[in-house]
Structure 1
Amino acid sequence: MPVTNLMKDIVINTLDEVLKKEKNKDIDASSRDDIIAYVLNRVPPRYVTTERGLLYGILDARYKIQQRIDLLFLIYEAIEKISSRRDSEGGFKGAIDTEKTSYLPHIVGQVLEESTLSVIPDVEVSLKRGNSLAPMVDSDWENPYTTNLATQGHYHFWPLYTERDTAKGSSVTFTLTFRHPRFIEQSMDVSLEVFEKSDFGRSRFIPTVLMMSKESS
C-alpha cells in the first residue's frame, strides 16, 4: 500500500464527531478543509506503509488520551478562528460559543493499591460539586469514571465552567471520591483555578491515591 499519513484520517474522523455533536451545519466543505489543514499543520505526522501498520497505528493513536485531547483542542480552536473570521467579514458566527472566556483545567490522576502499588480495576471515581456530580464539558467525558488496566488506573475529568461559578471568584472547589467494594472509600477536595483559555498544559495532576483493602484495616 502507498505511504499514508495516519493522522489525517484520525483528524478527519475526530472533526466529523465534533461537528455532529455540535450540530454545526455552518461549516461548509471549504471551512472543513481549512480546519483539517490547521490541525495537521500542528500535529506530527504518522506515516505507515503496511495494512498491519495502519491497523496498529489506528488502535494506538485512537486511544491515547492526551493525543485525543490535543486534537480536540486544535479542532475547537480552528472552528473558533474560522467562525470569527467569517464574522469579521460580515458573515456569521458558527455554533461554537466563541464568547466563552472561562475554562476549568483538566483533572488527571491515578489510583493504586496501597501495599503493592498495583492497579485496581473498577474503582469508581466521582467528581462532585457540592452534593451533585459535576457536569463535564460534553458527553464524551464520563462522571463517574471507572478505572481499568488499559489506562493503568488513571482517571481523567474535564469539568464544565458554569454561570453559577462566576460568583465564586478565581477558583472552584470540587470533591473527588474513590469507591471500590474491597477497599476503604476515600475523598479529597480539589480547588481548580479558572483560566481564560483552555490549555492542557495547565491540567491539575492529582497525587496518586493509594487505597487500603478493607481486609487489612
Structure 2
Amino acid sequence: MNIHNLMEEVVGHRINKLYNQIKEVNACWLTCDCENCRADAISYVLNRVAPRYVVSGRGVIHARDILQDAQIKADIDALGIEGIRIISSTKRPFHSSARTECIVEASEKPVFNFPIIQGSILEGNTFEPLANATVTLKMDGKEVDMADITWANPLNTYSSTKGSYSFWPKAIEAENADETKKFNFSIEVKRPGYDQVNYAFDTVLISENKIRKELDTTVSLKIMDLVMFREEIKNTMNRMIKD
C-alpha cells in the first residue's frame, strides 16, 4: 500500500514560490535561497501543518478540494515566511553545499549499516539537560565519519533539544553479506568548567547486501544518560580527602 502526504508537494510548491517572490523584491533579510535552505524551510512548515494522507485516486480528488481552502493556503504562507526568516538567520554549516552531498552515497557492495546512536547529557548537580557540551563519537580512538554532511561529528548540545545528541555513522564496506563483526565506539563529552566524560560501548552488526540510503528511526542505539560534574566539585572533594 502506497501512502502519500499531499502536503509535501503543496508546501514545497508554496515555499519555492515564496522564495522567488522574496528575491524579486530584494528583501534585505533573505541571506540565502540555496536548495538546502529551501528544504529546511519546507521541513519547518511540514512539521507545523496537519498532513493530508491519501491512498487512492478518490482520496487525491477529495484532498485537493480541501487544499483549495483559502485559510490553509494562508497558514502555509504565514508559516513559510516565518520559517524562511528563521533559516536565513540561522543557516546550517552545510547550507551552501550541493544537494548531492547531503544524501547518503549509493553502494552496491555489502556493507555494515550502522543504527542511529543517540543519548542525552545531564548536569551532575541538577540532573537537568546540559547545553553547550561538545560531544564526539569515536571508533578505535578516531572520529567517526557520518552518513552524510547533514550529520555533525563532533556536535554541540542545546537547551532547545534538551541536551540530546544523535549520530548516524557512515556505512563501512564488508567482504561479504551476512558477515558478523563487533565495532568498538566511545563518546567523548567536553564543556568548559566541567570534567570530561568518556563512555565506551560496542555493537555487533551483520553486513547487508547494500547500503541503507533512507533514515530509519526505528533502528537506533540508545546510550545511557551521561552526567557531567563541575570541576570545582571534584577539587572540593580532593581537598576534603587531603584534610
User: Under TM normalisation by the shorter chain, which class is it?
Assistant: 0.5 to 0.7
Question: Taking structure 1 as reference, are residues 152 and 56 closer, same or farther at Cα in structure 2, changes over 3 Å only?
Answer: farther
SS in 2 for 1:216: helix
Partner residue, 2:8: 7
Deviations 1:19-48 (A, max 9, x none): xxxxxxxxxxxxxxxxxxxxxxxxx54974
Q: Which residue of 2 aligns with 1:148?
A: 158
Aligned counterpart, 1:49: 73
8 Å contact 1:133–1:143 — kept in the other structure? yes
Whether the 8 Å CA contact 2:120–2:165 is kept in 1: the answer is: yes
Shift of the 163–97 alpha-carbon distance from structure 1 to 2, 3 Å rule, reads closer
Query: 1:214: which partner in 2?
Result: 231
Contact 1:6-1:57 within 8 A present in 2 as well: no
Q: Which amino acid aligns with 2:78?
A: R
Q: Does 1:112 align with 2:112?
A: no
Query: Does the Cα contact within 8 Å between 2:112 and 2:173 map onto a contact in 1?
Result: no
8 Å CA contact 1:107–1:157 kept in 2: the answer is yes
Give 1:208's aligned amino acid.
Answer: D
- Aligned counterparts of 1:192 and 1:59: Cα–Cα separation in 2: 41
Q: Is the 8 A contact 1:106 1:203 kept in 2?
A: yes
Partner of residue 170, structure 1: 181
* Offset at residue 200 of structure 1 (A): 2.4
Partner-residue secondary structure (3-state), 1:215: helix
Q: 1:5 to 1:148 in 2, by over 3 A?
A: same
Question: In the TM superposition, what is the alpha-carbon distance from 1:120 to its structure 2 partner?
Answer: 2.0
| 1:123 aligns with one of 118, 133, 136 | 133
- Structure 1 residues 141 and 214: alpha-carbon distance in aligned structure 2, compared to 1, 3 A threshold: same
Given that 1:134 and 1:143 are in contact with CA atoms closer than 8 Å, whether structure 2 keeps it comes out as yes
Q: Report if aligned partners of 1:123, 1:147 keep a CA contact under 8 Å in 2.
A: yes
Q: Match for 2:136: what amino acid?
A: S
Find the aligned partners of 2:175 and 2:126 in 1 and give their Cα distance: 40
Specify the code of the residue in structure 2 equivalent to 1:119: P
> Given residue 183 of structure 1, which amino acid in structure 2 is its aligned partner?
Y
Equivalent residues of 1:105, 1:193 under 8 A apart: no
Q: Judge conservation of contact 2:111–2:171 (CA < 8 Å) in 1.
A: no
CA distance in 2, matches of 1:7, 1:151: 25
TM-score normalised by L of structure 1: 0.57
Q: Which residue of 2 aligns with 1:102?
A: 112
Identity, % of aligned positions: 23
Question: Which has the larger Rg?
Answer: 2
CA distance in 1, matches of 2:168, 2:175: 15
Q: Contact 2:135/2:189 (CA < 8 Å) preserved in 1? A: yes
Give SS of 1:52's match.
Answer: helix
Say whether 1:187 aligns with 2:198. Answer: yes
Tell me if structure 2 keeps the 8 A contact 1:6–1:58.
no
TM-superposed deviation, 1:170: 2.8
Given the alignment, which residue of 215, 220, 232 partners 1:203? Answer: 220
Can you list the C-alpha shifts for 1:50-86, whole angstroms capped at 9, x where unaligned? 22244467899xxxxxxxxxxxxxxx79xxxxxxxxx
User: SS of 2:218's equivalent?
Assistant: helix
Letter in 1 for 2:106: I
How many Å apart are 1:192 and its aligned residue?
2.5
Alignment check: 8 A CA contact 2:110 2:174 kept: no
Asked if the contact 1:165/1:172 (under 8 Å) is kept, the reply is: no
Take 1:149 and 1:105, find their aligned partners in 2: how far apart are those partners?
25
Cα drift, residue 105 of structure 1:
0.6
